C-alpha cells in the first residue's frame, strides 16, 4: 500500500510536520510558516458551541421497519407498507449536564430520531419519559437555568432545583418519574423512548388522529440505583457511550418496538385530561398501544463530532401525513430546536451529511450563507414564482388544519374534567411496589433535605401530599430525619 501524502487545507504537500520553520536552527518561529499557522488556527476553532441542553450524547445509525398496517391512520409514505424499511439516525443524550459530564446520572435521556424518508427527513424528538416538567415553553429557559450550574457557585444547587419545582406544581408527575427506579438507565439500550408530545396523523381520507409514540426496548428495562450509578461514574464516566459503541461493534444490535396511542381528533375536546399537556399521559385503558414497527441500530458513526455533535434535529421536520398538535411545549420547540442549530452550526447545517436527506432531493430557493455547498446551476433562479420551471408548491398540506377560536392573548390551557397537577403523579406512585416506593422516597429526600429554606421544602412536601397521602407522609418523614442528623 502506497504511503498517503499529508497536505495543507489547500491540498499542498507538507514537507515537515515535526518541526516549525525558524530563523536559523535556534531562532524564533517565522510567520511565513503557513502550515504551522493554519494548523494552530484550525485547532483553536475545533470546538463549536455545545448544546445548552442535551449537550452530552451518543448516536448510531439503523433502520425502521414497518410490521403492522397503519395506513388507516396516516398517509406517511415511510409507514405505508408492511416490511418497508427506512434508514434512521438516533441521538441519545443526558439533558442538564455539559458535554464533559458523566453518563450514569439521574437525568432524563433525550431520544431524538431522524428518519431519512423519500419525502424528506422526519425528526421525532422525545425523551425516555412520557411526560415533562412544564407545560408552557415560556418557562423552559427558567427551568433549565434552575437545573444548570449556579452563576455564583458554579455548581448545581439543590436550592435552585427545588425552589423552581416548589413554584411549578405541574412538575410533580415528572419528578416522580425522575426520582423513581428508571431515573438512571443502566444504558441507552435498556430504556424506553417516547415522543412525549402529542402529534397529529392524517390518513388518505383527510381524517385526523392525535398520536403519542412509545418505543419499547427489546433488551428489557435495566436501571441503576444511586449507589450503583456513583460506582459506575467512577469506573467509566462514558459508560453509556462505551456500552452502545461496543454492543453494535460486536453485532449485538439494539432494537425497540414502536407502539402508538391514537385518539380520533374529535375526542380531544372532551377527554378527561388535556391531551396536549405534556405533563400528563393518556392511560392505556383509554387508548391502548398499537404496534407499528421496530427500530434497529446496526452501525456506529465513523466520526463522533461530524455525525453526533453536528447532528441537528427539529420537531418541525414533518412529512406528509404527520404534523403538530396544539401541545404548547411542542409548539415552542417547533421554533427553538431548529434555531438552536442555526446558532450552533450555521444556516446551512442541513447540508451536513448527517442532516441532509438521503432518500429525497432538496430543491428550493435557499442560497448562500456560511458553509453553503448547494448552489444550483447557472440557469436556476433564486426567487419564486418564476417562469423558468423552478420548483413550485404542491398545494397539498402535510397534515389536517387545527381549528382555533377566541381572543389573542396569554391564556392558561383550558381545563378538562380530570386536569390537575397531582392526580397522575399519585397514580404513578400507587403503581409502584413497596421497594420502588422506598427508593423513590429516599431519592427525593436526599435532594430536598439539602435545601436551606424551610418554605421551599414545605411547598414541595405539599405537592407530594396532594399526589398521595402516603407519598407525602413518607417523603416528609424522610426529609425530617435527614435534616435532624
pLDDT tens digits, 450-480 = 999 999 999 999 999 999 999 999 999 999 9
CA atoms of 382 and 354, how far apart (whole Å)? 25
Q: Single out the catalytic residue among 54, 192, 416, 463.
A: 54
Q: For residue 260, what is the DSSP state?
A: E
What pLDDT, on a 0 to 100 scale, did the predictor assign at position 369?
86
3-state class (DSSP) for residue 435: helix
The answer to whether 291 and 149 are in contact (CB under 8 A) is no
Please report which helix (H) or strand (E) contains residue 263, including its range. Answer: strand 255-264
Q: In angstroms, what CA-CA distances link 204 with 124, 208, 209, 221, 279?
A: 21, 10, 12, 36, 31
Give the burial class of 410: count Cβ atoms within 10 A of its Cβ; 0-12 exposed, 13-18 middle, 19 or more buried.
exposed
Strand partners, 115: 88, 122
pLDDT band, very low/low/confident/very high, at 60 (cuts 50, 70, 90): very high
CA atoms of 363 and 390, how far apart (whole Å)? 9
Mean pLDDT of all residues in 159-165: 97
pLDDT band, very low/low/confident/very high, at 370 (cuts 50, 70, 90): confident
443 part of the active site? no
pLDDT band, very low/low/confident/very high, at 373 (cuts 50, 70, 90): confident
355 part of the active site? no
CA atoms of 312 and 419, how far apart (whole Å)? 34
What pLDDT, on a 0 to 100 scale, did the predictor assign at position 377?
74
Give the three cell numbers for residue 292.
407499528
329-333, 391-395, 457-461: range with lowest mean pLDDT: 391-395
Residue whose C-alpha cell is 448527517: 354
pLDDT band, very low/low/confident/very high, at 404 (cuts 50, 70, 90): confident
What pLDDT, on a 0 to 100 scale, did the predictor assign at position 411?
86
What pLDDT, on a 0 to 100 scale, did the predictor assign at position 319?
96
The answer to whether 248 and 299 are in contact (CB under 8 A) is yes
Strand partners, 59: 91
Residue whose C-alpha cell is 431515573: 183
Residue whose C-alpha cell is 446520572: 105
What pLDDT, on a 0 to 100 scale, did the predictor assign at position 175?
98
118-122, 169-173, 366-370: range with lowest mean pLDDT: 366-370
From its phi and psi, is residue 371 left (phi > 0), alpha (psi between -120 and 50) or beta?
left
What pLDDT, on a 0 to 100 scale, did the predictor assign at position 240?
98
The answer to whether 320 and 119 are in contact (CB under 8 A) is yes
Mean pLDDT of all residues in 238-261: 98
Reply yes or no on whether the pLDDT at 40 is more than 90: no
More confident residue, 74 or 392: 74
pLDDT band, very low/low/confident/very high, at 412 (cuts 50, 70, 90): confident
Q: Single out the catalytic residue among 35, 121, 127, 317.
A: 127
- Bridge pairing between strands 290-299 and 57-66: antiparallel
The answer to whether 319 and 78 are in contact (CB under 8 A) is yes
pLDDT band, very low/low/confident/very high, at 374 (cuts 50, 70, 90): confident
What pLDDT, on a 0 to 100 scale, did the predictor assign at position 409?
87
81-85, 110-114, 340-344, 381-385: range with lowest mean pLDDT: 381-385
Q: What does pLDDT average to over the chain?
A: 94
What pLDDT, on a 0 to 100 scale, did the predictor assign at position 190?
98
Question: What are the start-end ranges of the E strands in 24-164?
Answer: 57-66, 85-94, 109-117, 120-127
In three-state form (DSSP H/G/I as H, E/B as E, the rest C), the secondary structure along 223-257 is ECCHHHHHHHHHHCCCHHHHHHHHHHHCCCCCEEE
Mean pLDDT of all residues in 23-34: 91
Reply yes or no on whether the pLDDT at 87 is more than 90: yes
31-45, 199-213, 258-272, 417-431: range with lowest mean pLDDT: 31-45
What pLDDT, on a 0 to 100 scale, did the predictor assign at position 371?
83
Give the three cell numbers for residue 80.
405505508
Mean pLDDT of all residues in 312-317: 95
What pLDDT, on a 0 to 100 scale, did the predictor assign at position 343?
93
Mean pLDDT of all residues in 302-331: 96
157-171, 208-222, 356-370: range with lowest mean pLDDT: 356-370
What pLDDT, on a 0 to 100 scale, did the predictor assign at position 443?
97
What pLDDT, on a 0 to 100 scale, did the predictor assign at position 146?
96
What pLDDT, on a 0 to 100 scale, did the predictor assign at position 376?
72
Is the peptide bond prior to 385 cis by the omega test (within 30 degrees of 0)?
yes
Give the three cell numbers for residue 421.
397537577
CA atoms of 171 and 424, how far apart (whole Å)? 11
More confident residue, 393 or 131: 131
What pLDDT, on a 0 to 100 scale, did the predictor assign at position 276?
96
Contacts 24+ apart (CB under 8 A), 409-414: 413/135, 413/136, 413/274, 413/276, 413/277, 413/328, 414/274
CA atoms of 481 and 459, how far apart (whole Å)? 18
Amino acid at each position: 500500500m502506497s504511503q498517503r501524502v499529508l497536505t495543507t487545507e489547500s491540498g499542498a504537500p507538507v514537507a515537515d510536520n515535526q518541526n516549525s520553520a525558524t530563523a536559523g536552527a535556534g531562532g524564533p518561529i517565522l510567520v511565513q510558516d503557513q502550515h504551522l499557522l493554519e494548523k494552530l488556527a484550525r485547532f483553536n476553532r475545533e470546538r463549536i458551541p455545545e448544546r445548552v441542553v442535551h449537550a452530552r450524547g451518543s448516536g448510531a445509525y439503523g433502520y425502521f421497519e414497518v410490521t403492522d398496517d397503519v395506513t388507516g391512520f396516516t398517509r406517511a409514505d415511510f409507514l405505508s407498507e408492511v416490511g418497508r424499511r427506512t434508514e434512521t439516525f438516533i441521538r441519545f443524550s443526558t439533558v442538564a449536564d455539559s458535554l464533559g459530564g458523566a453518563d450514569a446520572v439521574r437525568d432524563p435521556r433525550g431520544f431524538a430520531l431522524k428518519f431519512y424518508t423519500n419525502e424528506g427527513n422526519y425528526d421525532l424528538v422525545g425523551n425516555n419519559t412520557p411526560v415533562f416538567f412544564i407545560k408552557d415553553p415560556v418557562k423552559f429557559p427558567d427551568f433549565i437555568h434552575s437545573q444548570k450550574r449556579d452563576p455564583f457557585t458554579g455548581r448545581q444547587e439543590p436550592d435552585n432545583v427545588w425552589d423552581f419545582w416548589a413554584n411549578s406544581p405541574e412538575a410533580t408527575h415528572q419528578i416522580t418519574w425522575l426520582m423513581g427506579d428508571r431515573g438512571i438507565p443502566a444504558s441507552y439500550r435498556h430504556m424506553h423512548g417516547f415522543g412525549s408530545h402529542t402529534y397529529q396523523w392524517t390518513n388518505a381520507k383527510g381524517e385526523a388522529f392525535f398520536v403519542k409514540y412509545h418505543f419499547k426496548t427489546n433488551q428489557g428495562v435495566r436501571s441503576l440505583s444511586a449507589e450503583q450509578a456513583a460506582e459506575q461514574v467512577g469506573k467509566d464516566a462514558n459508560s453509556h457511550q462505551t456500552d452502545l459503541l461496543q454492543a453494535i461493534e460486536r453485532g449485538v444490535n439494539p432494537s425497540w418496538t414502536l407502539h402508538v396511542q391514537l385518539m380520533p381528533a374529535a375526542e380531544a375536546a372532551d377527554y378527561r385530561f388535556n391531551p396536549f399537556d405534556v405533563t400528563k399521559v393518556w392511560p392505556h385503558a383509554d387508548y391502548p398501544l398499537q404496534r407499528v414497527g421496530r427500530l434497529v441500530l446496526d452501525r456506529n458513526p465513523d466520526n463522533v463530532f461530524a455525525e453526533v455533535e453536528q447532528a441537528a434535529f427539529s420537531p418541525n421536520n414533518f412529512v406528509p401525513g404527520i404534523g403538530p398538535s396544539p401541545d404548547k411545549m411542542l409548539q415552542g420547540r417547533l421554533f427553538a430546536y431548529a434555531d438552536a442549530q442555526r446558532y450552533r452550526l450555521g444556516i446551512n447545517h442541513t447540508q451536513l451529511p448527517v442532516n441532509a436527506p438521503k432518500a429525497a432531493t432538496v430543491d428550493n430557493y435557499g442560497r448562500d450563507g456560511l458553509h453553503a455547498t448547494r448552489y444550483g446551476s447557472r440557469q436556476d433562479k433564486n426567487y419564486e414564482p418564476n417562469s423558468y420551471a423552478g420548483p413550485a408548491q404542491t398545494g397539498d398540506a402535510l397534515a389536517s388544519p387545527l381549528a382555533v377560536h377566541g381572543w389573542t392573548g396569554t391564556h392558561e390551557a383550558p381545563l378538562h374534567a380530570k386536569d390537575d397537577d397531582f392526580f397522575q403523579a399519585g397514580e404513578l406512585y400507587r403503581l409502584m411496589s413497596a421497594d420502588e416506593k422506598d427508593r423513590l422516597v429516599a431519592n427525593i429526600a436526599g435532594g430536598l433535605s439539602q435545601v436551606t429554606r424551610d418554605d421551599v421544602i414545605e411547598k414541595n412536601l405539599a405537592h407530594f401530599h396532594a399526589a398521595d397521602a402516603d407519598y407525602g407522609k413518607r417523603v416528609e418523614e424522610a426529609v425530617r430525619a435527614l435534616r435532624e442528623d
